[in-house]
Amino acid sequence: MDQSKFFSVLSFFFSLNFVSAQDSLNLFKTLNNQYNVERMVTNKFYYNPANMPDYSSLSMSEFSLNYQSENKKIYLRQLGSGDTGLVVNTDSFKKLKSNSAVWGHASYSNINRKSSRYNENLDLERITPYVTLDSIGGNIDLETYHFSGGYAKKLNRFSLGISGTYKAQMASRSRDPRMKNTTSDLLFSTGINYRFYRNFQIGIFGDFNKYTQNSLVAFVNEVSFPIVYQSIGFGYDNYFFSNSLDTQFEEIGYKIGGQITNQQGKDFYVLGTLSSSNNIKSIKPKIGNRYYDTSDLENQRSYFEAAKFITFQNNRFGLILNYDSEIRTGTEYGYTSNSDNTELIFKRKAYKKERYTTTFKALYQLSQKKYTFTAVPFFSYHEITDRRIYPFSGQKFHKYTVGLDLDLKVEINKDQVLTFRPSYSHRNISTAINALDKNVSSGKLEWINDDFSILASDSSTVGLFARYDFRIRNLPALFVSANWITQIITSKHNNFSALCLGITF
């Protein structure tokens, strides 16, 4: 996408937001509504666009410019040692009437990803293990454009909502191996709710998703360059397509869900979703113009969440439980060739990854005239099994994470507000089983063993977010914020920091 077109769209969002400025409330009350912690904790409730008329009682908007820097001392090589760059972001939610709402989001980021190796693709979590890789890698320049918007309305006992999201990425490297990647990710969502008794509602919703990625690796030095592998996981590769530099990924997916709520989710809600997708990888050999399907990655996912809230005077209590199950199955294709043609000789299931996560969260919020304090303790238990056959190789983890997120908003005066968000979490690995096949090259063996040692290590994460909002006369409120996070793994520190300047209205 041309940057001038993007910033034209961004300017439109900004002008739309400016019209919706809230002058009737003081700054503290506006920010309490705009950055409601309960809404952040229960964000999956609003995946159903039919729930959006009750997202907020007020219109609210933000425009911000962000700089972020991440420096990892210990990291998974395929993900790189950190991202550094700029992000421009705008969000808006506007109440058209008491029974309808429209919302939108636009963002642009220009990021430099450092020291990425064994990965010449984007969206690793979506396509792994079928990645194009080499042992050299290097820094990646990555641009991302993201747009979303929706509309929802209540009609007597019914509420309806639609939304759409589009995300595009462009990645490149200026030295060998010179990667050039583009992705396109389109998501369309719709939902409907029916109020069947008093404030009780039942609803259904669904998503349709289409994703593509085109990836090309090139070398200026055509005399001496490393082998480009087509990975099938755990250091193994598709030998038939080694040194093939042009790949494509096509994915179609859907999700269906249902929910039961009372008082628009402010009392309780129960929701569940089922989703499915198929990601097909195709490779074009160095000789010829035809693409050959080489793998089919099927993803089946189910999600359940239940929440209950109680308010007592100025105190609000909540409990949220969710369970997430994801099973990924890879089918691989085998070919043979002679002087005349290339023929498919087999298709077989050869890869499977299972991930099960159970999470408990509690919420406590104390609301006073001059401040609001919120605490969210949480506990998650994860079970992950990752394996392939032909040949067999795999690993298994049982782990749990315990943590606490705090939020304190304090009114200094009617035109100044301070926000603090300290956080802490600890990940403990209770079981880590390594059954990795060692019959790979020494470089790949070092890579997969190093990855396993990181995944099998306990870690602690400490974070602090601080923000200062202020308003000058009748102008929209300005803010400056800083965010710092450090993760400690095997006595090494991974540090993330960010600075942000913005406007809220």
CA distance 237 to 486: 35
CA distance 404 to 393: 36
In this prediction, residue 279 carries a pLDDT of 98
Number of domains in the chain: 1
Q: Give, in degrees to the nearest 5, the angle at Cα 228 between 227 and 232.
A: 120
In this prediction, residue 21 carries a pLDDT of 44
Those residues whose C-beta lies under 8 Å from the C-beta of residue 413, and which sit 6 or more positions away, are: none
Q: 74-115, pLDDT tens digit by residue?
A: 999 999 999 999 999 999 999 998 899 999 999 999 999 999
Those residues whose C-beta lies under 8 Å from the C-beta of residue 232, and which sit 6 or more positions away, are: 129, 130, 238, 295, 330, 332, 350, 351, 388
Torsion angles phi and psi, residue 363, rounded to 5 = -135, 130
Q: Hey, what are 94's tokens?
A: 């506007």
Q: What is the pTM of this model?
A: 0.92
- Find, among 127, 130, 151, 184, the residue nearest to 50 by Cα: 151
Cα atoms in the 13 Å half-sphere on the side-chain side of 11: 6
Residues of the chain with pLDDT under 50: 17-24
In residues, how long is the chain? 505
In this prediction, residue 293 carries a pLDDT of 97
The DSSP symbol for 476 reads P
Structural domain boundaries, residue 402 = 3-504
The DSSP symbol for 226 reads P
CA distance 241 to 133: 12
In this prediction, residue 6 carries a pLDDT of 52
**Adjacent-strand bridge partners of 218:** 178
- Find, among 34, 24, 20, the residue nearest to 409 by Cα: 34
Q: Are 326 and 298 in contact (CB under 8 A)?
A: no
